Every structure is written in structure tokens, then in C-alpha cells.
Structure 1
């Protein structure tokens, strides 16, 4: 056992993970920042342009549409996913018949390929062939909303799909945090006359604060990585009205062959998501520090 505790052994054991992290995360990030300052098209030698791509970016109307849509998905996800997944975790924590089957059923969307998720929801939300509008026509409702492919509803539908996709996963994380709360605290509070709501507010919430932080960060970073669902639903159309930052970056890089411009979008997306994460971590750290 002494061999495992030596400094050299620890370095050898963590080295593969560090190398892979550098190769597939850190180095590509720096490469994206570098190409964002060039007019690289994927072929030939890149020409350095300075801030020209970023000047073009911040005067690009489509970029602001994609930014607005991403913000809508993020706001909707934060408002719905966290409370809904926490409520579902409270249901999971209770002993009930068929509980394991319910957990597996709720978790299953998270293991389905995002491309398949997009395909499934195309047959549900498509204005012409979708299940919802077919049902509305069947019951005689004349209004046929453009759930996807229109100018308004697509970001909200993407947020709803993201909720469906990640609800069970986040509920499982919450459940793990709830299971770590000492049962003695609940028993002592019951002796003091505390009700279920008081236990939830004064015991459960404070004890799983770190779990809440983790789920919030996963939701924030997850919203900035949504690609396959949007690409399958609308491809960003019509006229980029349903694009998110990632789908517009993909279009600029691979469809328009403007690799440098696409990398400038990717760099800005990375900075925005990192900024949200840092601000949230700072705010929650201050709150935890005050409680301690």
C-alpha cells in the first residue's frame, strides 16, 4: 500500500487523464481562440485578421437571434428543470410499488442519442405531420401552431425537450444528495414538532446546497451544448430564426466554410457559458460562506 501513496505513483496514475484533458479540451479551446482571429477556411494557411471577425460578429443580426434563442432556452431550463427534477427526486425518495421501474422510465431519455430525440420530437411537434397538430385537427381545433420551424415557438419547444431529456438524470443527482442527509436530523425535527414542509426548508435545502449548485451548473453548461436536437428539428430555419449559438457556429464553420468566423462564435459562446458558471459559483460561494 505504501507504493500507492508515493508522489511518483500518484503522478503516474493521474497523468493519462491529464494528458487526455489537455489534448481534447484545453488545446482545442486555445486553437479555437487562435483561429477566431484568422480567415481560415479549413484549407490552406490561415491569414491573421485581428479583431475583424469579432467586429463582424457583434454587428451580425443572426448572431443576436441565436444569442436570444439560447437565452430563452437557458431561462426556461433554469426555471423548470431544477424545481421539477427536485420534486421528482422527492417522489423517488419515497418507497412505493414499482419505484425502480418509474426511475428507469424517467431516466431513459438521458441515454437516448440526441439525434434520435430530435427525430422523435419531429413526429410530435412538426406542424404538418406532428402528433400534436394531428390531434388538434381531430378534435376540430382550427388553430395549428408552428411548434417548430416558425419564428417564435421553436426555442420554447427546445427548452421543453431539454427538460424531458435531462429531468430524470438531474432527479437522480438530487436523489443522491437527499440520501446523504442524516436521517437523525429528520427524526429529531419530528420530535420537536416540525412538519414535512419545515423539514424540507430547514433541513433538506441547506444540506443539499452543493447538489443544487452541481445541478444548476450542469443545466447552464448543457444549454450551451444543445446542437443535435435543434439541427434535427429545424436545422436553424427558417432563415436562422431558430438557431442557437452552437447551431449558428456549425453553419458558419462547415456550411459556409468560414472556419475563422465560426471559431469566433465558438469562442464567444465559451466565454459566455464560462461567465455564467463563474458568476453562479461566486454567488453561491458567498452564500455558503455566510452560512458557515
Structure 2
């Protein structure tokens, strides 16, 4: 395999991927940025419009509502993902009978397509035919029925919980990898010194896996900001756009309303927000290698 160590060969094998990435990602991003400053509708000539599309976002009630829904999904999912995934990883870090099977089952929801996950949870949470409300009615607790999805209030909270449920296994795996890097000798030495379980967790484990914590935070935030399939499958942004997220509303504006330039401006704003967290992630990885 000496030919793989040749820089020229490495470069030649990298060119196809680089070209594909440039054409489908780089060019597309700059094209979207350019169209965000025009009145382009997807057909015809694109005339320069300055910052009009960005100003429009500030007065678009549906866009502001979709940003609010995205923020709710982000907060709800984050508050669940961070502690629960760490707890799951902390438990799975112990060797017990069937631990391998539990690890596999824990990761299973993450590999299910989001469209399928949305279908499953519609079956559970649909206000009329869903299992949850039917069970509440059957046990005499009909007063606790809610419009878990498709209503005016609870949809983003439900989406946040569902996203967390699907993602916990993935983030727990990252935490588990971090926990494996903590030397057992340090724990043994702290036990000799009289440290209890909480002190070991607070002063040894958490500081030593801070890199994993940062990675989980950045990836979880980026994932919540980009949620599309779950919302599209479960509510399609309805009723009357009340359950839209930033991404689903951007999709609606660009591909259903034909306001390509306005949708491009939305995508640029979302890109900038995601880039901020991505740069944090890259900086953290770079510091680790240094």
C-alpha cells in the first residue's frame, strides 16, 4: 500500500470528491447568498433588491413564529439530551450481563429514518386517533387529553421530546467514548483518598470529558436547528403555519410559494447560526489535536 503514501496519488483520489463538494455545496451556498439579495422567484431574471428580503423577515409574523418554535424545540431537546444521554452513557460504562445488547438497542432509534419516526409518533400522539389520548379516555382520564401535535401550543414541545428520544442513543455513544478515556487508576486513587461517588463525578469525570460535552452540545444544537422531516411528516407546519420551524417555513416559501429569494435569505440566516456552533466544534477539535 505504498502508493497510498504518495502525496500525488492522494491528491488525485481527492479531486473527484473535491469537485463534487465544490459543485453541489460551495457553488450552491454562494448562489443562495447571491439570490438572497434579489427578487428572484425561481423563474426569469433576478433583479437586485438589496436587504429587502432580510428586512421582510423582521416583520414576517410566521417567520418569527417559526423561529420561536425552533427555539422551543432547541431548549426542550437540549434539556433532555444532555443529562439523559450522559446518564445512559454512565450506566452503560459499567460491565453487566447483556450490556452489548442494551448498547445496540439504545442506538437503534437514531438509525431509523426521521420520516418513519414521525409516522410512529403520529400514531401515538394524534389528538383524535392517537394511542395516548385513547388510553387516557379508556382509563377515565379524558380530562388530561391534549392536542399533542397539530394544536396551537404543544406541537414544538412534542417535537423537542421526539427529537431527544431519537438522538439520545447517538449522544450517549459520544459520552461513552469520552468516559472510556478516563483512566481507572485515577478513580482508584480517589477512592483511597476517601472520595465518594459524587465527588468522583464532579471533580474527575466531568472535567476529563469536557471535550465530549462540548461536542454533544454543538451537535445537539445544530441538529435541533435543522429539524425538518419530523415536522414535515407530523404536522406539515399546520394548522395555519402554527407549528412551522425555521427550516420547514423556508421550504414552504422557496418551493411552494415560489418566493425563492426570500427563502434564500432565510436559509442564509439559518446557515450563519449553524456556522457559529460549527466553528465552536471545529475549534474544540483543533484544540484537542494541539
Q: TM-score, normalised by structure 1?
A: 0.90
Please give the residue correspondences for 1:2-13 in structure 2 after superposition, counting only pairs within 5 Å: 4-13=4-13
Confirm or deny that 1:234 pairs with 2:235. yes
Other-structure match for 1:189: 190
Give, in whole Å, the separation in 2 of the partners of 1:171 and 1:8: 40
Compute the displacement of 1:80 (Å).
Answer: 1.4
Uncovered stretches (5+) of structure 2, i.e. residues with no partner? none
Compute the displacement of 1:277 (Å).
Answer: 4.8
Give, in whole Å, the separation in 2 of the partners of 1:223 and 1:168: 15
Compute the displacement of 1:34 (Å).
Answer: 1.1
Q: Rate the CA distance shift 1:211–1:167 in 2: closer, same or farther, 3 A.
A: same
Give, in whole Å, the separation in 2 of the partners of 1:173 and 1:78: 15
Other-structure match for 1:163: 164
Give, in whole Å, the separation in 2 of the partners of 1:272 and 1:32: 16
Please give the residue correspondences for 1:112-191 in structure 2 after superposition, counting only pairs within 5 Å: 112-143=112-143, 144-191=145-192
Other-structure match for 1:58: 58
Kindly indicate whether the alpha-carbon contact (under 8 Å) linking 1:147 and 1:153 is maintained by their aligned counterparts in 2: yes
Other-structure match for 2:48: 48
Q: Rate the CA distance shift 1:201–1:24 in 2: closer, same or farther, 3 A.
A: farther
Give, in whole Å, the separation in 2 of the partners of 1:66 and 1:54: 15
In terms of mean alpha carbon deviation, does 107-116 or 198-207 score higher?
198-207
Compute the displacement of 1:73 (Å).
Answer: 0.9
Kindly indicate whether the alpha-carbon contact (under 8 Å) linking 2:133 and 2:142 is maintained by their aligned counterparts in 1: no
Other-structure match for 2:26: 26
Compute the displacement of 1:8 (Å).
Answer: 3.4
Secondary structure in 2 aligned to 1:58? Answer: helix
Give, in whole Å, the separation in 2 of the partners of 1:19 and 1:179: 38
Secondary structure in 2 aligned to 1:53? Answer: helix
Kindly indicate whether the alpha-carbon contact (under 8 Å) linking 1:220 and 1:277 is maintained by their aligned counterparts in 2: no
Give, in whole Å, the separation in 1 of the partners of 2:246 and 2:214: 24
Post-superposition CA distance 1:140-177 (Å, at most 9, x none): 12322110111110000000000111000110111111
Confirm or deny that 1:244 pairs with 2:245. yes
Q: Rate the CA distance shift 1:16–1:214 in 2: closer, same or farther, 3 A.
A: farther
Other-structure match for 2:224: 223
Secondary structure in 2 aligned to 1:96? Answer: coil
In terms of mean alpha carbon deviation, does 159-168 or 139-148 score higher?
139-148
Q: Rate the CA distance shift 1:187–1:19 in 2: closer, same or farther, 3 A.
A: farther
Uncovered stretches (5+) of structure 1, i.e. residues with no partner? none
Q: Rate the CA distance shift 1:105–1:3 in 2: closer, same or farther, 3 A.
A: closer
Kindly indicate whether the alpha-carbon contact (under 8 Å) linking 2:37 and 2:261 is maintained by their aligned counterparts in 1: yes
Post-superposition CA distance 1:168-226 (Å, at most 9, x none): 01101111111122222122222222222211111211111111111111101101111
Post-superposition CA distance 1:34-86 (Å, at most 9, x none): 11112222223322222111121211000100011111111112221011101
Kindly indicate whether the alpha-carbon contact (under 8 Å) linking 2:218 and 2:280 is maintained by their aligned counterparts in 1: no
Give, in whole Å, the separation in 2 of the partners of 1:280 and 1:65: 28
Q: TM-score, normalised by structure 2?
A: 0.91
Give, in whole Å, the separation in 2 of the partners of 1:16 and 1:88: 41
Other-structure match for 2:211: 210
Give, in whole Å, the separation in 1 of the partners of 2:17 and 2:178: 26
Secondary structure in 2 aligned to 1:250? Answer: helix
Give, in whole Å, the separation in 2 of the partners of 1:104 and 1:276: 29
Other-structure match for 1:266: 267
Kindly indicate whether the alpha-carbon contact (under 8 Å) linking 2:127 and 2:148 is maintained by their aligned counterparts in 1: yes
